[in-house]
Amino acid sequence: MEAILHRHLGYEKVDPAGHSGGGSISRGEAYDTEFGRVFAKHNAKRGSFEMFEGEYAGLAAIAATGAICCPKPIKVIDLGENGACLVTDYVDMGGRSRGLVQKFGKQLAEMHNHNAKLLKEAEQRENFVGSGQEGQPRFGFEKTTCCGALPLRNEFMASWPEFYVQNRLDPQVQRILEKNGDRALKNIYPELLHACEKLFSDYEAVPPALVHGDLWSGNWSSTAEGEPVIFDPAAFYGDPEFEEGIMNMFGGFGKEFWSAYHEILPSKPGRDKRVLLYELFHNLNHW
């Protein structure tokens, strides 16, 4: 890896820092360079370059909100038959304190609300000369992102219910049917689609929100300075309630978190049932 960082990033100094990390998908190591400490994550499997391109774009989008800390992406390196690696700045992570959970809830809500603010500001600028950061009016994302090892369909759509069914739920079901031809799932799927129509029948449309997309308790921590930090995103613009699907599935986010979150983004009628529908996506991902 030292030679790769020398060649592709032009670093003269590349010394292993003795810090490793990663999950079930990729492994990473920290290196000290003349520009500071970086973290290089490697995956040797086919499709890893596209996976890391999506992660790079997701981290860049999260960082651009200024709402919450995340590793700053530096470069995706194509290693050909040896896969790819993603280089980010190094975030020194510490333990979680009780007060951190409330701060995390507030900052996640601010991240979710950032795009809505941009869209509102753009609307207000229509009759004035000037420019500003543009918001994203549709649901989706510019790159394919991955939830674990699963590539996500992120084609932009104007309707969130249609996006969720066509770009999240249906690809999962079709993947399982192609893999093992599960007859029970095939028989119940039409009923599931009908249930989706009922759940979304009184849905109150919301502006697209940048979501992490895979925010279980293992994908957030704190910096050494005591700030919440999120990483390993499967980011896209969706309904912010989608984020709660995997958070609800694995737990670890208590009343203090949600109280702080809902001070900024209040809970909407029907939320609990919709969150169960979004949790289904992640359950299917573990089928």
Going 239 to 240 to 242 to 243, the CA torsion angle's sign is: positive
Amino acid type, 49: F
Other C-beta atoms within 10 Å of 99: how many?
10
Report how far apart the first and last C-alpha atoms of the chain are (Å, whole number).
Answer: 35
Mean pLDDT of 9-38: 87
Chain-centroid distance of CA 266 in Å reads: 21
Q: Which two tokens stand for residue 188?
A: 């119940």
Q: State the catalytic residue, choosing from 182, 214, 232, 272.
A: 214
Mean pLDDT of 100-104: 95
Predicted pLDDT at 125: 75
Reported pTM: 0.94
Spatial separation of the C-alpha atoms in residues 243 and 237, rounded to whole Å: 11
Known catalytic residue at 15? no
For each of the domains in the chain, give its residue range(s) and CATH number, in order of start: 2-90 (3.30.200.20), 94-285 (3.90.1200.10)
Kindly report the average pLDDT of the chain as a whole number: 93
Q: Which two tokens stand for residue 60?
A: 């860049």
